[in-house]
Structure 1
C-alpha cells in the first residue's frame, strides 16, 4: 500500500525540481550562446548545438544510470522520442495559422530523412542485436552523434543549410538584453530586411555604433559573468536531474509501477513540455522550419547521444523492464509519418496533426491497459 505522505512529498519534489531543471537549461543555453559570441564562435553553430539538445533528458539519463535505474532512463528516451513527434510536432501543425502557408524547405527534408534513417537503425539494433553487443552499438551511436554535429557545422559554414533555432529558448532574447541595442541608424545604410535594432557585434560590420539614451540603460556584462552563469546552469542541471530521478524512483516504488512505464509515459511528458510549447508558437507563427528542426534535432540527440550512453553504460543488461516490439513499432511509425508530412505538407497538415495527437493519446492509454497492463 502506497504511503500518502511519501507519494505527496515526492510528487511535490518532482514538480518543483522540474521548474529548476527548465530554468537551469535556459541559463546554460543562453549564456553559452553569449560566451560563444564574445569569443568569436559562430552563433549558427551554437544555435545548432542547442537546437533540440535535450540537456534535461541527458541529465536524467546520467542520474538514473548512476542510481542503477537504467530502465527508467531507457523508457524516458523512447517515450520522449515518441512524444516529440506525436505530442509536440502534432501540436505545431494544429496550431498553424491560416495566415501562413505550410511549406517545408530543403533543410527540413534533410533533417527528417536523417532522423528516419537513424530511427530505423536504432529500432533494428534494439530488437535484433544481442545484449552483449550493445556496448559496440552504443559506441557507434556516440560516433554518429559526433559525425552528425560536425557535418551540420560544415554544412552551415558552406551555407548549404539553415541552422535551427534554440528549442528551449531563443538565445536572441539574451543577446538583445546583454548587448546594448542601437535604435539610431543611417537610413541609407539599411535595406528593407535589416532590423532597426542592432547589437554591438552587428554594428561592427556597418561602422561605428552610435549610442542613444535607451542603449545606455543596458549594461554590458563581462565575459566572466557569462561563464559563471554557464557553469551555474550546468551544475543546476546536474542537481535537478539527480533529484528528479530520485523522486521518480520513489514514486514508482510506492505504486509498484515499472520504471520503464513511468519513464515512457509520465517522465517523458514532463521533460518534453518545452518542446510542446515551442512547437505551438512555431506552428502558429508559420515558422515550420523551426518546428521541424526542433523535432528532428531533439530525437537525433536522444537516439544517438543519450541512447548511446545507455547502451555503453549498461551493455544491454537493464535493471528491470525493457522496450517491446509494440513501442518500437510506434516509434518507427511515428517517425515515418513525420518524414512523410515534411515532404507532403500542404493543406492536409492540420488534419495530420490531429491524427498524430489522437495516436499519441491512444498510445498512452494502450501503455497502461494493454502493452504494460498496469
Structure 2
C-alpha cells in the first residue's frame, strides 16, 4: 500500500508538471505562428489545464474503470468552483472586480459553461451515458469552442512568451509526463479503491479529481495574489466546459458509463449555478458565499465517502 500511495503521488506530480510544460510549449509555439495571445488563452491554456482530466478519464474508460472516468469529470468541475475559485475569492473577494475582465465576457462564458452543464445533466438523467451521448457532447463542444475562439479574437492580450524551438520539446515532454502520470494515477486509484472497499466513482470524484485540478488551483491562487484574475476565471469556466464536453465525450466513445446516483448530477448542476454570486455579487457578499461553497464542498466529499457503499 505504501508503494501504491507513493506511485499515486508521483503520478499526480507528473500530471501537474506535464500540463504546465504543455501549456508553456503550446502557447509559445502558437505565438510564434502569429496566433493572438487572447485566442491562446481561451483555447490552449484552457485545454492544457484540462489535459490531466482528459488523459486520466480516457485511460480509465479504455481500461474499463468507467466510475473513475465519470467521477473525475464531475469532481473536477465541482472542485474548480467550490474549492479553487471559492478559495481564491475568499482570500481576495475583489478578484473578479480587479481582474479587468469585461462583464459581457464573463456573462457569455458563464452562460456557455451553464449550457454545457445542463446538456450533460439532461443526458445523464437517462441513467446511462453511451456513445450517442458522447457524440452529442462533442458536437456541442465544437459549437462552444467556435464561440470561444470568436470571443478570443476580440479580447485583450495574455502574458505569454515564446521559447523558440524549445516549445516543441516542452510539448513532447509535457504530453509524455501527463500520459505516464495518468497511468500511475488510475492504477493507484483502482488499487486504493479495492483495498479500502471504496467505489471507484468516489475515488474519482474526490482524490483523483482534486489531483487533476491542481493546475487550475496553482494558476488561480497565483492570480488571486497578483490581481490577475481574468485569465484564471476564464480558465476555470473554460476548463469546466472542456471537462464535460470534450473529456467526457471522448471517454463515452470508448466505453458507456452507468450513472450510479442522480444526486451527483444534481450537485454538479447546483455548484455550477452557485458560481454566479462569486462572479457578479459585491465583494462584501463574495467572501461569505465563498465560505459557504467551501463548506458545501467539504460536506459533499464527506457524503460521497459515507454514501459510497450504496452507490
TM-score relative to the length of structure 1: 0.75
Counting matched residue pairs gives: 307
Matched, 1:142 2:138: yes
Report deviation, 1:238.
1.4
Question: Which has the larger share of helix?
Answer: 2
Partner of 1:197: none
Runs of 4+ in 1 over 3 A off after TM superposition: 97-104, 284-288, 370-374
Instruction: Mark the runs of 5 or more structure 2 residues left unpaired by the alignment.
Output: none
Q: For the residues of structure 2 that align with 1:301 and 1:99, how far apart are their CA atoms?
A: 23
Partner of 1:43: 37
Report deviation, 1:346.
3.6
Report deviation, 1:359.
0.6
Matched, 1:363 2:300: yes
Matched, 1:52 2:52: no
Distance 1:373 1:324, change over 3 A: closer
Q: 2:266 aligns with which of 329, 334, 359?
A: 329
Matched, 1:342 2:283: no
Deviations 1:15-53 (A, max 9, x none): 012112211111111111111122222232222223332
Partner of 2:256: 315
Higher-Rg structure is 1
Q: How does 1:115-134 map to 2 (within 5 A)?
A: 115-127=113-125, 129=126, 131=128, 134=130
Q: For the residues of structure 1 that align with 2:95 and 2:283, how far apart are their CA atoms?
A: 13
Report deviation, 1:96.
0.3
- Which SS does the other structure have where 1:40 is aligned? coil
Q: How does 1:264-279 map to 2 (within 5 A)?
A: 264-279=205-220
Q: For the residues of structure 2 that align with 1:306 and 1:313, how far apart are their CA atoms?
A: 11
Q: 2:151 aligns with which of 144, 155, 168?
A: 155
Instruction: Mark the runs of 5 or more structure 1 residues left unpaired by the alignment.
Output: 1-6, 166-170, 179-220
Q: 1:34 aligns with which of 28, 34, 48?
A: 28
Distance 1:281 1:313, change over 3 A: same
Equivalent pair of 2:109/2:234 in contact (CA under 8 Å): yes
Matched, 1:110 2:104: no
Report deviation, 1:82.
0.8
Partner of 2:177: 236
TM-score relative to the length of structure 2: 0.90
Report deviation, 1:102.
5.9
Q: For the residues of structure 2 that align with 1:99 and 1:61, how far apart are their CA atoms?
A: 31
Partner of 1:208: none
Q: For the residues of structure 2 that align with 1:347 and 1:59, how far apart are their CA atoms?
A: 39
Q: For the residues of structure 1 that align with 2:89 and 2:308, how far apart are their CA atoms?
A: 28
